[in-house]
Amino acid sequence: MAADGEEGKRRGLGRGLSALFGEEAAMPEAGAAGAPGTAPVGRLHPGPFQPRQYFDEESLAALADSVREKGVLEPILVRSHPDRAGDFQIIAGERRWRAAQIARLHDVPIVEREIGDREALEIALVENIHRDDLSALEEAEGFRRLVDDFGHTQEALAQAVGKSRSHIANTLRLLTLPDSVQRQIRERELSAGHARALINAEEPETLAREIIAKGLNVRQAEALARRGKAAGADGGGRPRGRPPKQSKDPNTAALERDLSGMLGLRVQIEERGEGGLLTIRYESLEQLDDLLQRLSTDGQG
């Protein structure tokens, strides 16, 4: 079963790269340019597009033990180093390269390809995502670079990495959290689920410390965030400092009920002159994901 799961990951990775490049990805034939070879460990250098920022020392030591016993089983993907003649820049496989150094190997297997900056980031991001090697924040920062620096739409990016568009959007929202919370995500003190529960929280830093101190799971963190919002309301459930609402126009109230019935979520309409404010409330990330999926599907119809 483990082998089948690994093969499934590899097939997913191939489809992702094909979607990114707009063509079928193919492995080189033996003896052809780009075929596997070897290179001295010292001739390889980390690339600038590595999405991983944190390497767990314990996990790396375990990998080094395996490399010491069995060698590096999967070649490291490299390209020619732009500033060091005869050297290589790592595109995918930096963790294996680091483990090889710890294991004191002299040579490592490589596959060299001529790849541009955009493709280098795409490949590094897709490989790490399919290996589950990235923290949620590292994944978010990789997504942001592909969107901001290389013009990917969220839809194309979702197809390429095998994730839903709502996953892309929700992951990118992690970058709006305070720096201290982002650090806790990067160091895996908080999971992606914990972090998403804090996005709309009143005091995310305080709640993050409480989640870590108490060892709360994701559902408990979501409940804590909801209680935090409720604490900002007065006894009548109305936010402090906001005047009591006047009775709502019957037509507006009817429209609220209709929209709530269509979406399965609480909808509130607030009239403001010629315009207004539409608020859709959700109780869980699953409800938000379902709403985004439905809106995306409806927009394509």
Is residue 94 annotated as part of the catalytic site, yes or no? yes
Among the listed residues 23, 29, 94, 187, the single catalytic one is 94
Torsion, CA 147, CA 152, CA 154, CA 157, rounded to 10: -110
Which of the residues are catalytic?
94
